[in-house]
Chain A
Amino acid sequence: MGFPDRIERTVELAHPPAKVWAALTTAEGLAAWFGDEAAIDLRPGGAARMRWTGEGFTADMRVERVEEPNVFGFTWHIYGLPEDDPRRTYVEFTLQPSGAGTRLTVVESGFAQLPEDVYRKAFDGNTEGWAKELGELAGYLDAA
């Protein structure tokens, strides 16, 4: 019951963690597989940005966790929501050595959060003032 708050994927990569780490945390690496262009200030609180030139879309990220070569986390705006929507999801990559390669897990969480004002507004309207408004609606329908 309920809709997922998080997305989780695990992939086995035939490359050591150091190499995977570079692909995830450097501008050159990110631009090679994720965005078309990338910039990153790799420290907690640092800014990162990816750009998809074909779609004309830019994602601004904030670096949150940097524990080389095991954990890299950032937050970003939720795709599809308005620019001024304060909701952000947290993306965390975990790299574990697996034989000669790496088991990479990505977890994106926070889809189920709602800012307090949206939450309040969404419920308020249903409980306040409806008797009055429905009365006006009835009046309109009677007059029509």
Chain B
Amino acid sequence: MPLDIRASADIEAIAEQVFTALADPTRRAILAALASQGPVTATDLAARLPITRQAIAKHLALLAEAGLVRAEPGERRRVRYRLRSAPMQVAQQFLAVLARDWDSPLGALTEHLDRGA
């Protein structure tokens, strides 16, 4: 599906939020914990990570505002945080184009042809 210019700008904004979130080691640790262990409360995260609960609550609020985690009501009114994968999938396309290497295979092709000549 080709995207128009406005959509591209939206994608830029989403990618920026993802990469900004990932640039901070505490937020990386929080996102990694949510990715590997599933939805948890801020209290659970504070028990697992060497970070105060206040700092975790602050980062979770920021991540929720950026749309990277979703706050869900849990048992006894405890809010659980769940990773939202859609923005990550948007950011992945930025990494995909950087990770694709054509220079090495084309170098190998040149060598292969020269060797066989």
Residue positions of A touching B, CB distance < 8 A? 1-5, 7, 9, 11, 13-15, 19-20, 23-24, 29, 32-34, 78-81, 85, 87, 104, 106, 108, 111-116, 118-119, 121-123, 125-126, 130, 133-134, 136-137, 139-141, 143-144
- Indicate if the CB atoms of B10 and A123 lie closer than 8 Å: yes
Q: How far is the CA of A15 from the CA of B100 in the complex (A)?
A: 26
- Indicate if the CB atoms of B70 and A133 lie closer than 8 Å: yes
Q: Which residues of B in the span 56-74 have a Cβ within 8 Å of any Cβ on A?
A: 57, 60-61, 64-65, 67, 70-73
Tell which of B23-31, B32-40, B79-87 binds the partner: B79-87
Please indicate the chain B residues that have their CB under 8 angstroms from the CB of A32 in the complex: 112
Q: How far is the CA of A76 from the CA of B39 in the complex (A)?
A: 33
Assuming A33-B108, A114-B3, A133-B70, is B84 touching A125 (CB within 8 A)?
A: yes
Q: Which residue of A lies closest to B15 (CB)?
A: A3
Assuming A113-B3, A118-B89, is B109 touching A23 (CB within 8 A)?
A: yes
- Indicate if the CB atoms of B71 and A4 lie closer than 8 Å: no
- Indicate if the CB atoms of A4 and B111 lie closer than 8 Å: no
Please indicate the chain A residues that have their CB under 8 angstroms from the CB of B110 in the complex: 11, 13
Please indicate the chain A residues that have their CB under 8 angstroms from the CB of B96 in the complex: 78-81, 111
- Indicate if the CB atoms of A114 and B114 lie closer than 8 Å: no
- Indicate if the CB atoms of B71 and A7 lie closer than 8 Å: no
Assuming A140-B42, A144-B53, is B97 touching A34 (CB within 8 A)?
A: no
Extra pairs beyond A81-B96, A122-B87, A125-B67 (15, CB < 8 Å): A3-B94, A11-B109, A23-B109, A33-B109, A34-B108, A79-B100, A104-B109, A108-B100, A122-B14, A122-B67, A136-B71, A137-B60, A137-B71, A141-B57, A144-B53
- Indicate if the CB atoms of A2 and B90 lie closer than 8 Å: no
Count how many chain B residues have C-beta atoms less than 8 Å from C-beta atoms of the other chain.
50
> Secondary structure of the B side of the interface?
helix
- Is there a chain A Cβ closer than 8 Å to B117's Cβ? yes
- Indicate if the CB atoms of A9 and B90 lie closer than 8 Å: no
Min CB distance, B34 to chain A, in Å?
A: 15
Assuming A108-B100, A137-B71, is B105 touching A114 (CB within 8 A)?
A: no
Q: How far is the CA of A29 from the CA of B105 in the complex (A)?
A: 13
- Is there a chain A Cβ closer than 8 Å to B20's Cβ? no
30 pairs across A/B with beta carbons < 8 Å?
Answer: A1-B12, A9-B102, A9-B103, A11-B106, A14-B114, A20-B113, A32-B112, A33-B105, A33-B111, A78-B93, A79-B100, A80-B92, A80-B96, A104-B106, A106-B106, A111-B97, A112-B93, A114-B3, A114-B93, A119-B7, A122-B14, A122-B89, A122-B90, A125-B70, A125-B87, A126-B67, A140-B57, A141-B57, A141-B61, A143-B77
